[in-house]
Amino acid sequence: MNNIKRMVLAILCVLALCLTAWGAAAEPADFIGENAYGAGGVIRVQVTMDGDKIVKIKTLEQHETAGLGTTAIVQLTKTIVKANSLEVDSVSGATLSSISFKAAVRQAVETALGVDPTAGIELGENEYLGLSENALGGRLLIKATIADGVISAIDILEAYESSEVGVPALETMKQRIIEANSTEVDSISGATVTCKAICEAVHQAVESAAQ
């Protein structure tokens, strides 16, 4: 009987340790994200994650216009947490602040989840990936078709630029780069950051093709 009791106690102790470890692992944790392209400069946030759930967002640094950019940050904080998603609309009249804030939060969330942006992407013959983390919206991921040193196609796989300025700029830059067969092309006025990012990404793809 004593042996049975000892065995039961041992099992209970193991279960208690497992539950304690599981509870510790399940504790919410904080992750930092930032983006340099807010209307006033750097936006830096701290995101509290509980597993894959966004529990809380705290803005650590921002230099946005009071009553406009700051209001957008407050609104987006509530919207993102409520939706547990970054797929939310930017705040009208505060596009730069909105895009930069969401980019900062995205960086923190993806760090928490261990996201690999290139995972699962299949490449065909003469296709190469290019990545820039310096776009207005954070990440810009492209796929370029390059053969014998010639860039014949560029596909945008992931981007978070503004629909009004950034997206059209990307389309124009794709054509300029292909026609010049070079990333040494003029940027588009009002979209310099976006243009530099796609040039950086394509250049990376070109270097991969040359290896």
Kindly state whether residues 137 and 63 are assigned to the same domain. Answer: no
Encode the chain (211 residues) as per-residue pLDDT tens digits: 454 444 434 444 444 454 454 444 569 999 999 999 999 999 999 999 999 999 999 999 999 999 999 999 999 999 999 999 999 999 999 999 999 999 999 999 999 999 999 999 999 999 999 999 999 999 999 999 999 999 999 999 999 999 999 999 999 999 999 999 999 999 999 999 999 999 999 999 999 999 9
Q: Which structural domain range is residue 70 located in?
A: 29-113
User: Residue 162 sits in a domain of what CATH number?
Assistant: 3.90.1010.20
**φ, ψ of residue 28 in degrees (nearest 5):** -60, 150
Using DSSP's 3-state secondary structure scheme, residue 35 falls into strand
Sign of the four-CA dihedral 6, 11, 12, 13: positive
Alpha-carbon gap, residue 104 to 95, rounded angstroms: 14
- Residue 5: per-residue pLDDT: 44
- From first CA to last CA, the distance across the chain in angstroms is 71
Count structural domains, the chain. 2
- Residue 11: per-residue pLDDT: 46
- Residue 25: per-residue pLDDT: 52
* Position 124, amino acid: G
pTM, two decimals, is 0.85
- Residue 85: per-residue pLDDT: 97
63 inside domain = yes
Residue 199 near residue 192, CB atoms below 8 Å: no
DSSP 67-103: TTHHHHHHHHHHHHHHHTSS--PPPTT-HHHHHHHHH
154 inside domain = yes
Kindly state whether residues 196 and 138 are assigned to the same domain. Answer: yes
8 inside domain = no
Kindly state whether residues 138 and 165 are assigned to the same domain. Answer: yes
Kindly state whether residues 145 and 103 are assigned to the same domain. Answer: no
57 inside domain = yes
